[in-house]
Structures are given as structure tokens and as C-alpha cells.
Structure 1
Amino acid sequence: MLNLADAPILGADQRLIFSLYDPSPLGIVAIHGNLSPGVLLSAYRQGVFPWYDDESPILWWSPDPRFILRTDRLHISKTNRKFLRNCPFSLSVDRAFPRVIRHCAKVPREGQVGTWIVSEMEEAYNELHRLGYAHSVEVWRGEKLVGGLYGVSLGRVFFGESMFSLESNASKSAFILLTLELRERGFRLVDCQVYTRHLENFGAEEVPREEFLALLAEGLRGETLKGPWSEMLDLDGLRRRIFGASRPLSR
């Protein structure tokens, strides 16, 4: 296992090599290090992500199998289609990233005690957002933020990090519509990291690490949509176009 205790602070255009040849049985490939932009982006490009809590050092993971969603295999149930046709929410992109990641850290989850989105991780992803690599989807009912998700985008790959929901179907709406938008823009892969039944319902599947790394390498050959997505992506418009939906409640 790689020890990154002496890893330098790296800017977004600098690279760090992770070794994947000797992961732990759980998929941990490195320990310690830092969450500077260059280290984080290097990790994602090599199929590695940080995941730890306040009581442990930074742990870097590359699990085998890997949980992914191929965008052309997105499953939308009849129930979800009906909901999206008459959705009471409005959606935005990159309008409230700090609020989304804070909600992801703070909103209680069934079966989970505490949070893995510790303060230094929150700060690190806010910095990636300022640099144009991390993005959020916000779900609103009127002026109230009721759901959302965030992740990192490199090439034509979206690395999902976390989502939250304060009302039924809020995060579902964000995930489905973002995936449809990404598919239209040539993204073939959403990295979901580790298995959840929730995302399995949308077509996500476990694949061997080597298969994931091959898909990742292919996706990274595409151009990164760097910068704020707020003017690039119109998820409300996409929803109306695909589902014949009425206009959402105004914000």
C-alpha cells in the first residue's frame, strides 16, 4: 500500500502517480497524503477516490469490483417517468455547490452514523468547484433547496460523490436528469464507486476493476467540460423535452 505522507501540495495541472498493484483486500491503495487539487484530480484520473472519516487518516480507494452506470443503460421506471412528467421541482446546475455539499454532509441517512464528508474534504471539493472540475445539481421547491448531488467531471466521465434529499424523489430527479444530459453530451460512464441498491435500481452494476479502468481510460480521452455548468446545462428544459412535462414551480 502506497504511503503518501510526504506527498506535496499540487496544483490542478500537476500529477501524482498512484500504484494499483498492491491494494488491500478492501480496495485501499494508499494512505495519508492531502486533498490538494492536483492530488485529487490525479486520483480520479487513475480510478482512485478518497473516503475516510474524522477518526482515520486519508484513505484512497480503488475497489474491486467497481460500481458504475453506463449512461446508455439508465433505467427509468414507469413511476419515475410519471413523476418527472408532473414534477413539482425546478432544477439548477452549479448554482449552490457549497450548500449542496454541506447538505450531503449533514442530512441524516438511514443506517449511517456520522459523515465521511469531513471539513477538509468539504473545503477541497469547494476548491475543485471553483476551478471548474466539481459540479452540483440543485433541486428546488420554490426557494427551498430540497435535494441535490455533486461530483467531479473529467473527460467524458462523471464521478458521483454524494446526494441528499429532503423530499421524496428530489435526489432521484437530479440523478436521472443529469445522467440523461450527460449521455446527450457524449458521457458514457458515471462512476458510482461502491454498490448501493438505490443506484442499482437505475441500472448501475458492478464490474471488475480492470474493466472499469479500461472504460475510464476511454472516457478520459474526451474533452473536459471545465468551468461552471450553470449556463451549459438546462435540466428543466431537458425534462420538458423528454417527458413532455409541464413547467416546474417557479423559484
Structure 2
Amino acid sequence: MSRPGIFGPPRDWPAQDLIGLSDELDPDLVVLAYRCGVFPMPLHNAWFPARMGWWSPMRRGVLLPDGLRVTRSLRKSAKHYVTTVDAAFDEVIARCADPRRPHGWIDHDIVDAFTALHHRGVVHSVEAWTPEGNLAGGLYGISVGGLFAGESMFHDPDIGRDASKVALLRLVSAMQRDGQADRIIDVQWRTDHLASLGVIEIDRDEYLGVLDETLALSAPDWAAERGRTDRGGEETGA
């Protein structure tokens, strides 16, 4: 893979989710990939000689901020948590990367690259805390223009009922806060769980067609988000 035009024109991509391979992963490449509609995911235990796969799903899972389904039970759960932004990134990504999680895929290369991007202010975490101050759930992802690409989310099975959903609710609030209704949350693939929250599927061509417009939008004001604490659904200053 070479730069620029590292992935080539989309018309030349294979008609499958996996569109490239490499042994290289660095923060700049990750940002470039998302701008091209591509994301990295390691090829653990695969027969491919490369260790990193580059993916652009034929059917992309996306959540439009005004499309989030908030049930009565989720609103009730939200009252039991305090949510923050970028307050515990290292712990969130470590919990998401816990090798004991089923279908875990986040390796040291991913952690290193996204941690570096967090320090640059490009990758952000959202946390959900119990009133006692324990981390109950969270998510992290990369913010490029009006696109937030969610990488992973987790909840603590003992203390975190609905905590990852509550973190998502806070993320959606951040994406909507200044009236930029056309921002998009990319979740890579639609699952039944994500579909229950309002995630839809669009085909690759449609996703790439709206990507440039989305990237041209302003990102949420993450500095302001770090200064907001949501306590039971009511925002306060830091």
C-alpha cells in the first residue's frame, strides 16, 4: 500500500468487505483510512500473510443522531449513571480490548494507534459511571469532521446494565448539540443489538457518496463536551 491514494479508487475495490492488507498501522494512516471510508481491523488467526485488514463493508452500519431509539427503560437507566467525555480514555479502551471478551479483536497495534490519536484530540471516549464513581460502561471512536466512527463499546456485567447504551445516548447528544443534524455515527456493521438502537444499513456506494459532505461538517466541540457532566440526564458544568 502506498500514499497518496493509498486505497485506490473505490470502483476498483473488490466486491467484499475486506479491501486491503498491510503490515503497517500508524495514526496518520488510520485517519486517512476513515477519510476514504475504510477502517482497520486485525486479521487474527487468518491465513493472510499480513497482520492488518482494511475494511469497507458492502453494507455499512450507520446511526443518524436523530434516529436513536430511546426506550422508556433506557431513559430510566440513564438516571442511574453519570456520563463524561474523555475522562478515562485509557480505561475505556483497555476494557474494550479485554481479551476475555467474546469475539475480541482489539490488539496492541490498535490500542497504540488510537491512544496516540486520543492525545492529538482526534479520538474520544464517553464514559458512564455509577453514583459511587465506578466505571460501568463506555465507548470510544474517531471524530473526523461530522463523522464519528465508533470503534467499540463495553459495559460491566455486574454494575453496568445499559451503561454502554447510556454512553451512546451521551454521544448522540454531543453530535446534535450545535444543530448539525447531518452528522453521522458510523458503527461499521449493523447487528441485531445495534439495530434495536436505531442503526440502519446503507450500501457502500451510498456511504461513500455522503462521506465527503459529512467530513466537510464541523466536528462537535469536544473541549466543551469535556467540561460537561451529565448526571441522570441533566447536564452540569465540570
**Which amino acid in 1 is paired with 2:86?**
D
| 1:214 corresponds to 2:204 | no
Structure 1 residues 69-88: aligned runs within 5 Å? 69-84=63-78, 87-88=79-80
**Which amino acid in 2 is paired with 1:34?**
E
| 1:193 corresponds to 2:183 | no
Spell out, residue by residue over 1:89-120, the C-alpha distance to the aligned partner (whole angstroms, 9 max, x if none). 111110111110010011744xx34x210011
SS at match of 2:230: helix
Spell out, residue by residue over 1:98-157, the C-alpha distance to the aligned partner (whole angstroms, 9 max, x if none). 110010011744xx34x2100111011000100110000111122321110000000011
Once residues 207 and 71 of structure 2 are traced to their aligned partners in structure 1, the CA distance between those partners, rounded to angstroms, is 26
Q: Which has the higher strand share?
A: 2
Equivalences, count: 225
SS at match of 2:70: coil
Once residues 26 and 240 of structure 1 are traced to their aligned partners in structure 2, the CA distance between those partners, rounded to angstroms, is 44
CA displacement at 1:226 relative to structure 2: 7.7
Once residues 239 and 117 of structure 1 are traced to their aligned partners in structure 2, the CA distance between those partners, rounded to angstroms, is 31
Which one of 62, 68, 71 corresponds to residue 68 of structure 1? 62
Corresponding residue number in structure 2 for 1:12: none
- The answer to whether the 8 Å contact 2:141/2:151 transfers is yes
Corresponding residue number in structure 1 for 2:18: 28
Once residues 96 and 60 of structure 1 are traced to their aligned partners in structure 2, the CA distance between those partners, rounded to angstroms, is 28
Once residues 126 and 192 of structure 2 are traced to their aligned partners in structure 1, the CA distance between those partners, rounded to angstroms, is 21
Once residues 133 and 217 of structure 1 are traced to their aligned partners in structure 2, the CA distance between those partners, rounded to angstroms, is 18
Structure 1 residues 118-129: aligned runs within 5 Å? 118-129=107-118
From the superposition, tell whether residues 107 and 37 of structure 1 become closer, same or farther in structure 2 (CA, over 3 Å).
closer
CA displacement at 1:83 relative to structure 2: 2.5
Corresponding residue number in structure 2 for 1:103: 95
SS at match of 2:136: strand
Give percent identity, aligned residues only.
34
Corresponding residue number in structure 2 for 1:244: none
SS at match of 2:185: strand
Q: Name the TM-score, length of structure 2 as normaliser.
A: 0.85
**Which amino acid in 1 is paired with 2:177?**
E
Task: Structure 1 unaligned segments of length 5 or more: list them.
Answer: 9-14, 242-246
| 1:149 corresponds to 2:144 | no
CA displacement at 1:227 relative to structure 2: 6.5
Task: Structure 2 unaligned segments of length 5 or more: list them.
Answer: none
